[in-house]
Amino acid sequence: MTRVDFYILRSTDARNRQLLACRLTEKAYRLGHTVYLHTDSPAQSRAIDDLLWTFRAGSFVPHAIGGNELEGRESPPVLLGHDSEPGRSRDVLINLSPELPAKVERFERVVELIDQDESVRQAGRRRYRFYQENDYPLMTHKLDGRLGNPGVS
């Protein structure tokens, strides 16, 4: 069954959520996992796309923006998207959207990133209740101001 991890940041800065998403994506990629990074808009997809190239000196995370339209072509290990889902199964879903992504059961792991912005917290609580009511295994990780040492195993 899909495991769901909630990472709780102490910050209200949306950029910290994006940086954490990049760190977790890189870690999952280095461990050999495929990742779908679900964003809330085309603008956020482009911002994460840019950030994946620059968030850490020397990092390299092969990625592309897209979903089903990449089917049949060589797909990189990391896909970003906001309105579609990946055509092929992915190991890890990292959710930056306030909405519950479709078909979360397709993923081995779902990562929910929550900061202290009230709208992010409220949307996160709704998703948490959904996962809880549907018996998904849940883990919560409270991170300090340094973003902690996030883990994807």
Amino acid at 115: D
Q: Hey, what amino acid is at 23?
A: R
Residue with tokens 């990292």: 94
The CATH superfamily assigned to 3-142 is DNA polymerase III subunit chi (3.40.50.10110)
> pLDDT tens across 14-40, in order?
999 999 999 999 999 999 999 999 999
Task: Identify the segments of the chain with pLDDT beneath 50.
Answer: 148-149, 153
Q: Residue 44 contacts by C-beta under 8 Å, 6 or more apart in sequence?
A: 18, 82, 96
Give the pLDDT score at 145: 62
The runs of H, that is alpha helices, within the chain are: 14-30, 42-54, 118-133
Q: What distance in Å separates the CA atoms of residue 39 and residue 97, rounded to the nearest whole number?
A: 5
Mean pLDDT of the chain: 89
The SS3 call for residue 74 is coil
pLDDT at 116: 96
Query: Model pTM?
Result: 0.89
Count of residues for the chain? 153
Q: Which sequence spans correspond to the domains of the chain?
A: 3-142
